[in-house]
């Protein structure tokens, strides 16, 4: 992602991270390993890397030194305009979700970052039925309840987000970015907004925007939510991971076009994206990689993770971020 004073994203090995010695690390998501005793927040994401020989770390940083702190279960790092936080909570999923979102929102209110921009959620046994309801649907209901209890919107101006599976017995892991500046929220014209899904996907819908744009003085950062082979509100190409990947790419292109329209830019492109790709069945990886190489070009370096996805009939989900100068 581009240079400058604002937000940066890098995917690095531990050796690369240690060599960089950056002063302004906001936070890290660790895949396949973890940091020890860090000043900044680390989200331990228990999703195995695919096609990598060494652990990778998703590093969010700025050029300048940052302030760090703890509020309840939230470990956070912040600048004057951006806050990164992470937390993990064990126990009953509904109660853990409500508590996680309540503590996250309490932190934003207490520290003065009113705008939740992007949230990553990793849910143990996301597709498992318990107490008569799929756990993803339980999560959605609890998230909505927590947002509503804090007077937060549940349609329209809601954060970009994703929700992926995590191993049995693990905690709910959440990490997030918030801002003192209002972002632009983006929807996909090819899809029903998630918060308007019909009841067949759960009594309470998922509350997220398809993307969000964070505005900084020297740049804009686009956060694309987890995106899959959904048109309208229906999954298509069930059982065909290559076709699902192509449809997902078409959805990414639609979101990029809408982001460019909203921001009056033409710089958000497929080639500008840093992509994180979740693959349900590792045996599908070659087919998915082939489609992405064709679409993104040879210079792209997507990160591939094995994880269950919010719908059982989805084989692949892609999230992405891109930064352009202003």
Q: What are phi and psi of 10, to 5 degrees?
A: -135, 145
pLDDT by residue (tens digit) across 140-191? 999 999 999 999 999 999 999 999 999 999 999 999 999 999 999 999 999 9
Residue 11, token pair as written in the block: 């995917």
Residue 291, token pair as written in the block: 């489609």
Q: Is residue 3 part of a domain?
A: no
pLDDT by residue (tens digit) across 188-243? 999 999 999 999 999 999 999 999 999 998 899 999 999 999 999 999 999 999 99
Active site residue 16: no
DSSP 132: T
Number of domains in the chain: 1
Confidence at residue 34, expressed as pLDDT on a 0 to 100 scale: 75
Q: Is residue 2 part of a domain?
A: no
The dihedral sign for the CA sequence 32, 229, 145, 203: negative
In the set 216, 247, 317, 319, the catalytic residue is 317
Which residues contact residue 158 at a Cβ distance below 8 angstroms, ignoring those fewer than 6 apart?
A: 116, 147, 152, 185, 195, 207, 208, 209
Instruction: Give the domain range for residue 233.
Output: 8-325
pLDDT by residue (tens digit) across 45-87? 999 999 988 899 999 999 888 999 999 999 999 999 999 999 9
Q: Is residue 147 part of a domain?
A: yes
Q: What CATH number corresponds to the domain at position 31?
A: 3.30.1330.40
């Amino acid at each position: 992602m581009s240079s400058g004073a604002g937000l940066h994203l890098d995917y690095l090995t531990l050796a690369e991270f240690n060599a960089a010695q950056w002063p302004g690390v906001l936070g890290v998501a660790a895949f396949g390993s973890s940091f020890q005793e860090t000043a900044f927040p680390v989200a331990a994401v228990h999703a195995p890397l695919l096609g990598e020989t060494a652990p990778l770390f998703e590093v969010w940083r700025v050029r300048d030194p940052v302030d760090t702190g703890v509020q309840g279960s939230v470990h956070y790092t912040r600048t004057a305009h951006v806050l990164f936080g992470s937390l993990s909570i064990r126990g009953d999923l509904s109660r853990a979700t409500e508590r996680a979102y309540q503590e996250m929102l309490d932190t934003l209110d207490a520290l003065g970052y009113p705008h939740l921009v992007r949230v990553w959620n990793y849910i143990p046994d996301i597709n498992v039925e318990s107490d008569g309801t799929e756990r993803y649907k339980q999560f959605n209901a609890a998230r909505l309840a927590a947002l509503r209890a804090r007077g937060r919107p549940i349609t329209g101006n809601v954060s970009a987000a994703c929700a992926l599976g995590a191993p049995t017995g693990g905690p709910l892991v959440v990490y997030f970015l918030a801002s003192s500046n209002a972002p632009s929220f983006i929807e996909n014209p090819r899809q029903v907004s998630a918060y308007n899904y019909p009841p067949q996907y759960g009594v309470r819908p998922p509350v997220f925007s398809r993307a969000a744009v964070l505005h900084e003085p020297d740049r804009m950062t686009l956060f694309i939510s987890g995106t899959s082979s959904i048109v309208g509100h229906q999954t298509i190409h069930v059982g065909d991971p290559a076709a699902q990947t192509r449809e997902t790419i078409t959805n990414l292109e639609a979101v990029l076009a809408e982001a460019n329209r909203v921001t009056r830019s033409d710089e958000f492109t497929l080639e500008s994206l840093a992509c994180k790709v979740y693959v349900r069945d590792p045996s599908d990886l070659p087919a998915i990689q082939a489609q992405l190489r064709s679409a993104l070009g040879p210079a792209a370096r997507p990160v591939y993770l094995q994880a269950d996805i919010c719908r059982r009939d989805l084989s692949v989900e892609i999230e992405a971020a891109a930064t352009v100068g202003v």
